[in-house]
Amino acid sequence: MAPSPDETPETFAPVGPDEATAAASDSTSAESIASDAESEAGFRVSLSNFDGPFDLLLNLISKHEMDITEVSLSAVTNEFIAYLQHLDDDEELDQASEFLVVAATLLDMKVAGLLPQGELVDAEAVALLEARDLLFARLLQYRAFKEVSAWFSRCLQREDRRHVRAVRLDEKHRTQTPELVWSLSADDFAALALLAFAPKEIPHVGLDHLHAPLVSIREQAAIVVTLLRGTESLSFRELVSGIREPGIVVARFISVLELYRHAALSFEQLEPLGELTLRWAADSWSDETLASLGADYDR
Amino acid sequence: MTDDLTDDLALPTEQQAEEPTISAESPLAERIEAILLIIDEPIGLVALAAAVGSPVAAVRQTIETLVDDYDGRGTGPRRGFELREVGGGWRLYVREDHDSLVAEFVGGQAPARLSQAALETLAVIAYKQPVTRSQVASIRAVNVDSVVRTLLARGLITELFADSETGAINYGTTDALLQHLGINSLDELPPISPLLDDGADGFDEGVVR
Amino acid sequence: MTDDLTDDLALPTEQQAEEPTISAESPLAERIEAILLIIDEPIGLVALAAAVGSPVAAVRQTIETLVDDYDGRGTGPRRGFELREVGGGWRLYVREDHDSLVAEFVGGQAPARLSQAALETLAVIAYKQPVTRSQVASIRAVNVDSVVRTLLARGLITELFADSETGAINYGTTDALLQHLGINSLDELPPISPLLDDGADGFDEGVVR
């Protein structure tokens, strides 16, 4: 799993361990890091110190003394993204998805904040509002639990010091206690021992060894070309009928987009989410074009 | 029980007269003390009443008398122990003033503190129970499997039931947690309800303009 | 502590003749009661004096006062428990008058089932014996004191010997456990050996992948 240095360019950029992406993101978040260094030189924390993305976000927000409900999230987005660069070992990558979800939402908000606001309410804006509300709500909820956990800690510590009477029964009364209900066989007992000796960190089965089979966009494009040339028009639904693997459907869709880029086909969609109708439109088509098609997606 | 007969008769009459002689001298107090001395978990009023064979109301009043008595508000001196209601029942504790003395005597290492992650997870489960592991994980936005295992091993939470559809296990807190917190019921948790009811939806009006 | 002042003065006056200075910090009687409340075995005067940090003579006298006190010969009511000297040490016992009450209470409890925590601790002791409490605690990553007490009381484990260096008590399982499991000797316990050699480390390879 550990990427060798020459493989790194394909690593997912925001969490990539390689210098290239680190340098790239550095430039975008340079100001925030620089201002960190000036204003609070001590604030250098490894990401593993944060217990999840909300913890990190909350920390960044409170560092700027902003109210969650009022917060200008674009101000903390850069820092949040910058911290994601510390997500650089396999184990952390496993837990990175929630960080990425939050980062994506933050980026959306930042972009929306930068763009001029029109009166127009489109679906995207509504979705963005919803995403923001959801993030606020979850963050507030998280903060509430985090705050109340301090009460738990105080009570537990206080009570830890207390001593309760817990003394064995006198011999004469012990014999009167009801017979013990025992239902374990020796094998059950051994299974229990296994559990008892197990490390308290639950071993979990990694999914690293599961790789989706690779799908070639070029191959799929060849199929699309063949199908379309043989007929006048075809809906996308027909184009993928009978295909069960999502990966192939996606690849076939991407190949349609690529062919459109090359003006090899045209498409028509009368209403949002409506039927997508494809037509072969190439004046001159050479199969050699296929060879370079989808090169952007090559690994 | 036959030799207690006189006590059994003597007691109710005293109570009928409302208070005056309910004094800790009452044999009911002695019987309650006998039970309190041998229990190894808190005993509720009803169970205690059944054990000593007296009405719950009388037991409640006698318990109150004993609490005062041990605290030095009765006829005798203050005691080195006290009677506390914790985790749904009554139990004898070393008086707080003497905890350090006792700690020194029994030695032993302080129990390991819960991590911040465990505390937060515990809080979520306490307020949201019954709750599944994945629900907790989504509130905390991190995987909570190993933390839940720690809390289970410590007996602070327990598996309540499996969801009939998904089979996901629902967790809740235990009476042992109440004891460890030194409270008598979940009602004594600090209120944070406004934030919990519905997560996302309720916030629209309140938070976003 | 200020409101203890009267107690402080009240109790030691009897002792003042012999030991004028003992009652300086907190009432000796309270400190003794605190220790008495938590001990399992009778405690000798010398050990008790060391525990509460007072001269043996003063402790002896205070013990006598407490005996009288609990028996109703002091200022307060008679107690449901008494302080008795047994085998050279002092310990709180349920007053004999209430033995039948206690017997009924104990016998009337629901048939006991061991908790998961108790079963796991028992399993650790069974496979690791002889083993000390702190060793068990470190394997279980929790404090096991009360669970060990339960297992002892249930006769499932027993104290084998004290470590010659540390004095820590080593525990092992009893024949009663073998009977419950339906086996004749510990050799018949199903082997789980790979785990025992190196604890956590060996586990990863064995179980994961």
Of the listed ranges A217-231, B134-148, C4-18, the one predicted with least confidence: C4-18
Question: What ipTM, to 2 d.p.?
Answer: 0.71
Contact list, B150 vs chain C (CB under 8 Å)? 141
Distances (CA, A) of A26 to A60, A78, A289, B81: 18, 10, 38, 63
- The most confident of the ranges A24-38, A78-92, B156-170 is B156-170
C203–B contact, CB cutoff 8 A: no
Secondary structure letter of residue B43 according to DSSP: B
Contact between residue C17 and residue C5 where contact means Cβ atoms under 8 Å apart = no
CA A11 to mean position of chain CA atoms: 14
- Kindly tell me if the per-residue pLDDT of B60 is higher than 60: yes
A161 touches chain B (CB under 8 A): yes
Q: Do C208 and A205 touch (CB under 8 A)?
A: yes
Which of A4-8, B25-29, C150-154, C174-178 is modeled with the greatest confidence? C174-178
Interface of C with A in 167-196 (CB under 8 A): 180-183, 188-192, 195-196
**Nearest CA-CA distance, residue A155 and chain C, Å:** 18
Omega prior to C130 cis, within 30 of 0: yes
Q: Is the pTM of this model over 0.80?
A: no
Q: Give dist(CA B50, CA B55) in Å, integer.
A: 8
Contact C145, B106 (CB under 8 A): no
Contact B140, A52 (CB under 8 A): yes
What is the model's pLDDT at position C155? 85
- What's the whole-number average pLDDT of chain A? 71
CB contact under 8 A, A149 and B143: no
Whole-angstrom distance, CA of residue A21 vs CA of residue A27:
10
Distance CA C15, CA C20 (A): 7
Which band of pLDDT confidence, cut at 50, 70 and 90, is reported for residue C24?
Answer: very low
Write down the pLDDT at residue C134: 87
- Residue B193 clears pLDDT 60, i.e. is over it: yes
Closest CA to B146 of A97, A96, C204, A200: A200
A130, two tokens: 């919803």
Name chain B's partners: 3 or more CB pairs within 8 A. A, C
pLDDT at A24 over 60: no
Cα separation, A209 vs B105, in Å, equals 55
Question: Which of A149, A154, A195 is most worth mutating to test chain B (most B CB atoms within 10 A of its CB)?
Answer: A149
CB pairs under 8 A between B and C: 145
CA C185 – CA A253 distance, rounded (Å): 68
Closest chain A C-alpha to B163 CA, distance in angstroms: 22
Q: Does B73 touch chain C (CB under 8 A)?
A: no
Report the C-alpha gap between A79 and A84 in whole angstroms: 9
Within 10 angstroms of residue A203's Cβ, the number of other Cβ atoms is: 15
Among C76, C120, C142, beta carbon nearest to B76: C76
Q: Which of A213, A212, A217 is nearest to A257 (CA)?
A: A217
Which is more confidently placed, A98 or C43?
C43
Tell me, yes or no, if A149 comes closer than 8 A to chain B by beta carbon.
Answer: yes
**Mean pLDDT, chain B, integer:** 81
The pLDDT, as a whole number, for residue B3 is 41
User: What is residue B93's three-state secondary structure?
Assistant: strand
**Given CB atoms, is A177 within the 8 Å cutoff of chain B?**
no
Torsion of Cα atoms, A233 then A239 then A241 then A243, to 10°: 170
| CB-closest option in B78, B92, B109 to C37 | B92
Mutate to test the interface with B, among C25, C30, C62, C106 (most CBs of B within 10 A): C30
pLDDT on residue A297: 63
Taking an 8 Å cut-off on Cβ atoms, the answer to whether C123 and A196 are in contact is: yes
List the domains of chain C with CATH numbers. 2-97 (1.10.10.10), 111-202 (1.10.10.10)
Q: Which two tokens stand for residue C68?
A: 């009288």
Minimal Cβ distance to B208: which of A51, A136, A138: A136
Give the burial class of B192: count Cβ atoms within 10 A of its Cβ; 0-12 exposed, 13-18 middle, 19 or more buried: middle
- Here the tokens at position A225 are 């070309």
- Whether the bond into B130 is cis, omega within 30 of 0: yes
Place of tokens 């799908």: A215
Residue of C nearest to B80 (CA): C30
For residue A1, what pLDDT is reported? 41
Among C7, C79, C105, the residue with its CB nearest the CB of B33 is C79
Neighbours of chain C (3+ CB pairs under 8 A): A, B
Chain C CB contacts of B33 under 8 Å are: 79-81
Are A98 and B142 a contacting pair at CB < 8 A? yes
| pLDDT single digits (tens) C74-132 | 888 899 999 999 888 999 999 998 988 998 898 887 777 888 888 989 999 999 999 99
* Confidence band of C36 (pLDDT split at 50, 70, 90): very high
Cβ neighbours around A275 below 10 Å, total:
12
Cα–Cα distance measured from residue B156 to residue B148, given in angstroms and rounded to the nearest whole number: 10
- Token couple for B110: 């302080």
The 3-state secondary structure of chain A reads CCCCHHHHHHCCHHHCCCHHHHHHHHHHCHHHHHHHHHHCCCCCCCHHHCCCHHHHHHHHHHHCCCCCCCCCHHHHHHHHHHHHCCCCCHHHHHCHHHHHHHHHHHHHHHHHHHCCCCCCCCHHHHHHHHHHHHHHHHHHHHHHHHHHHHHHHHHHHHHHCCCECCCCCCHHHHCCCCCCECCCCHHHHHHHHHHHHCCCCCCCCCCCCCCCCCCCHHHHHHHHHHHHHCCCEEEHHHHCCCCCCHHHHHHHHHHHHHHHHCCCEEEEECCCCCCEEEEECCCCCCHHHHHHCCHHHCC
Nearest to C207 among A163, A193, A203 (CB): A203
- Provide the pLDDT for residue A44: 40
Q: B80 and C29 in contact by Cβ < 8 A?
A: yes
Any chains having at least 3 CB pairs less than 8 A from chain A are: B, C
Question: What is the percentage of chain B residues whose pLDDT exceeds 70?
Answer: 78
Return the number of CB contacts < 8 Å for A and B: 141
CB atoms within 10 A of CB A270: 8
Of chain B, the percentage scoring pLDDT greater than 90 comes to: 52
| pLDDT at residue C74, as a whole number | 86
pLDDT for A28 beyond 70: no
Q: Which of B203, B204, B205 to mutate to test the interface with A (most CBs of A within 10 A)?
A: B203
Cβ of residue B175 closer than 8 Å to a chain C Cβ: no
Tokens of A245: 């693997």
| Residue with the larger pLDDT of the pair A209 and A100 | A100
Residues of B whose CB is below 8 A from C74: 76-77
Locate C35 and state its tokens.
Answer: 């220790």
In chain A, the residue whose alpha carbon lies closest to the alpha carbon of B110 is A160
- Secondary structure E strands in chain B: 81-86, 89-94, 131-132, 157-162, 169-173
Rounded to whole angstroms, how far apart are CA atoms A241 and A229? 17
Q: Tell me, what's the pLDDT at B184?
A: 93
State the best of C62, C82, C94 to mutate against chain B, taking most chain B CBs within 10 Å: C94
pLDDT for res A295: 66
Tens-digit pLDDT profile for residues A227-259:
888 777 888 888 888 888 788 888 888 888 888
Q: CA of A190: which chain C residue's CA is closest? A: C190
Instruction: Choose, out of A72, A91, A134, A145, the residue to mutate when testing the contact with B (most B CBs < 10 Å).
Output: A145
Note whether C92 and B22 are within 8 A (CB). Answer: no
The 10s digit of each residue's pLDDT in A165-217 is 988 787 778 777 777 888 888 888 888 888 888 765 444 444 544 555 567 77
pLDDT confidence band for A64 (50 / 70 / 90): confident
Specify the higher pLDDT residue, A91 or B120. B120
pLDDT tens profile B79-115 = 999 999 999 899 999 999 999 999 889 876 666 788 8
Which of A126-135, B25-34, B45-54, C127-136 has the least mean pLDDT? A126-135
Q: Which residue of B has its CA nearest to C80?
A: B30
What pLDDT score does A236 carry? 86
Reply yes or no on whether the pLDDT at C23 is more than 50: no
Are C29 and C62 contacting, i.e. CB atoms less than 8 angstroms apart?
yes
C101 close contact with B: CB closer than 8 A: yes
Angle at B159 between CA A207 and CA B199, to 5 degrees: 75
Query: Distance (Å, rounded) from C-alpha C53 to C-alpha C33?
Result: 13
pLDDT number for residue B6 = 40
Question: According to the model, what pLDDT value does residue B5 have?
Answer: 39
The percent of residues in chain A predicted with pLDDT above 90, rounded, is: 3
Considering CB atoms only, which of C33, C94, C145 is closest to B81?
C33
How confident is residue A87, by pLDDT bands cut at 50, 70 and 90?
low
